[in-house]
A and B are shown apart, each in its own frame.
Chain A
Amino acid sequence: MELKSKILIAEETLVIQLKQKDHQAKAFEILVNTYKERLYWHIRRIVLNHDDADDVLQNTFIKVFRNIDSFKGDSKLYSWMYRIATNESLSFLKSKSHKLKINNEKLMTKAVEDLRADVYFEGDEIQHKLQMAIATLPEKQKLIFNMKYFQEMKYEEISEILDTTVGGLKASYHLASKKIEAFLKEN
C-alpha cells in the first residue's frame, strides 16, 4: 500500500478514536504530536510573534478537539486543521487590531517592526526586509505566498485549505511574488 493511502487510513482511524470517549485522550495526544510543529509554523508566519503564535496554536487544538464531531471527512483531517489554524490566526489579528484601535495594515507593519527587538527572531536585514514586503500584501495573497514559498505546499493542498481554485491561487501567487520583488527593489 502506498504511504499516502496508509496515511489516509491512519487519519481516519484517528478521527474515529477522537470521537470515542475511551480512546479520545490518547488519540488527541497523537494528533497534537503529529501536527504541532507544522501548524505552529503556519500560524507563526501569520502572526509573526512567538507568544501570539503559542496562544493561537493552543486555541486551534482546543477548537479541533471540541469540534471533532462536526468533522465530516469531506476534506483531509490536516486540511481541516490548517483551515481552523488559519481562521484562528486571522481572527486573533482582527481582535488584536480592535483592541489596539489600529487597522490591520498598521498592526502588521508594527508587528514586523517589533521583530527587530524580538529575541525569537534572528533574521538578518534581508530576512527582515522580506517580512516587511510580505506585510504589505493583502491577506489572502500573504497566506498563499507563505504556504507556497516557505511551506512549499502543493497548489492542490492550498486549494483545499483556502477553498480557492488552483488557477486563482497561481494568479495570486504570481501577483504576490511580483509585489514582493518590486518592494525589495525599491527599498
Chain B
Amino acid sequence: MDKLNKNNSFKVPEGYFDTLSNDLMKKIAKEDISTPLNEGFKVPEGYFENINSKILGQLENTSVEPKVIPLKSYKKHYYTAASIAAVILLFLSVQFNSVKTPSYSDLANSDIEHYFEFNDLELSSYDLAEILPIHDLDLNDILESRLDNDNIIDYLDSHIDDFEELNMHNDD
C-alpha cells in the first residue's frame, strides 16, 4: 500500500478505507432487497435487528473445541484388538477357499433401494446429477410421464407461430 502512496499529495478522511467495505456492504444490503410485497409473509417485529446476536450466540455455543484424547486408555485395547485380528486372520486363512465373498451382484435391488431410502446420504439432486451417467440415460427415464414425438410436435405446434420455420425433415 505504501508504494501506492509515494509522492501522493491527495488525502482521504481518516479511517476512510477501514469503513469503506462496511459502507459498501450496507449499500448492497439496501440494494433491491426482494422483500415480499404481495406474498403475505411476515416476520416478528425486530427480528432482523436481533438475528445477529442470535447467530453469534449459536456460534459460541457450537464452537469446535479440540478434544483431548487420552493416549494411555487405548493401550489396553491394543492387546484385545491384536488378539481379535489374529483370530480373524487365522479363521480367514482356514476358510479362505470355502468362503465366497459377497459381490455387488449378490445384492438384491430391493436391498439397495432400502439402503438409499433409510440412510440419509445427504446427497442433493445436484450431487446425484453429477454422478449419474448422462450418456446411458434416456430423457424418458427421468420424466414422470412419457414424452413421445407426438407430444413434442403438439407442443411446438401450439407454441411456434411458423411451424415450417423449424426446417424439420420428415423421412417417413
B36, A33: Cβ atoms under 8 Å?
no
A123, B28: Cβ atoms under 8 Å?
no
In the complex, chain A residues 8-63 whose Cβ is within 8 Å of any chain B Cβ:
10, 13-14, 17, 29-38, 40-41, 44-45, 50, 54, 57-58, 61-62
A151-B34 contact given A34-B29, A123-B41, CB 8 Å threshold: yes
B55 at interface by CB-CB < 8 Å: yes
Q: What is the chain B residue whose CB lies nearest that of A174?
A: B159
Contacts of A128 in B (CB 8 A): 40
A121, B125: Cβ atoms under 8 Å?
no
B59, A127: Cβ atoms under 8 Å?
no
Of the residues A65, A127, A139, contact of B40 by C-beta under 8 Å: A127
B149 at interface by CB-CB < 8 Å: no
A120, B55: Cβ atoms under 8 Å?
no
B29, A33: Cβ atoms under 8 Å?
yes
In the complex, chain B residues 34-50 whose Cβ is within 8 Å of any chain A Cβ:
34-36, 38-44, 47-48
Q: What is the chain B residue whose CB lies nearest that of A138?
A: B144
B24 at interface by CB-CB < 8 Å: yes
Of the residues B24, B33, B41, B59, contact of A10 by C-beta under 8 Å: B24
CA distance A10 to B42 in the complex (A): 31
Contacts of A41 in B (CB 8 A): 33-36, 41
Of the residues B20, B32, B34, B42, contact of A121 by C-beta under 8 Å: B42
In the complex, chain A residues 115-136 whose Cβ is within 8 Å of any chain B Cβ:
115, 119-124, 127-128, 130
B55, A10: Cβ atoms under 8 Å?
no
A106 at interface by CB-CB < 8 Å: no
CA distance A14 to B23 in the complex (A): 12
Q: What is the chain B residue whose CB lies nearest that of A50?
A: B43
A140 at interface by CB-CB < 8 Å: yes
A10, B21: Cβ atoms under 8 Å?
yes
In the complex, chain B residues 99-126 whose Cβ is within 8 Å of any chain A Cβ:
120, 122, 124-126
B52, A33: Cβ atoms under 8 Å?
yes
A10, B51: Cβ atoms under 8 Å?
no
A120, B59: Cβ atoms under 8 Å?
no
B39, A127: Cβ atoms under 8 Å?
yes
A29-B52 contact given A10-B21, A120-B42, A162-B126, CB 8 Å threshold: yes
- Encoded as 1 (CB less than 8 Å from any B CB) or 0, chain A from 159 to 181 comes to 00011000000000000000000
In the assembled complex, the CB of A176 is this many whole angstroms from the nearest CB of chain B, namely: 15
A90 at interface by CB-CB < 8 Å: yes
Q: What is the chain B residue whose CB lies nearest that of A140?
A: B125
Contacts of A7 in B (CB 8 A): 24, 27-28
Chain A contacts to B: CB under 8 angstroms:
3, 6-7, 10, 13-14, 17, 29-38, 40-41, 44-45, 50, 54, 57-58, 61-62, 65-66, 87, 90-91, 94-95, 98, 115, 119-124, 127-128, 130, 139-140, 150-153, 162-163
Known contacts A45-B39, A87-B124, A95-B120, then 4 further A-B pairs from the complex at CB < 8 Å, ordered by chain A residue: A29-B52, A38-B29, A44-B41, A91-B124
Can you list 17 A-B contacts with CB-CB less than 8 angstroms, sorted by A residue number?
A10-B28, A32-B51, A32-B55, A33-B26, A34-B25, A50-B43, A58-B54, A62-B59, A66-B64, A90-B124, A121-B41, A124-B40, A127-B40, A150-B34, A150-B36, A152-B32, A153-B34
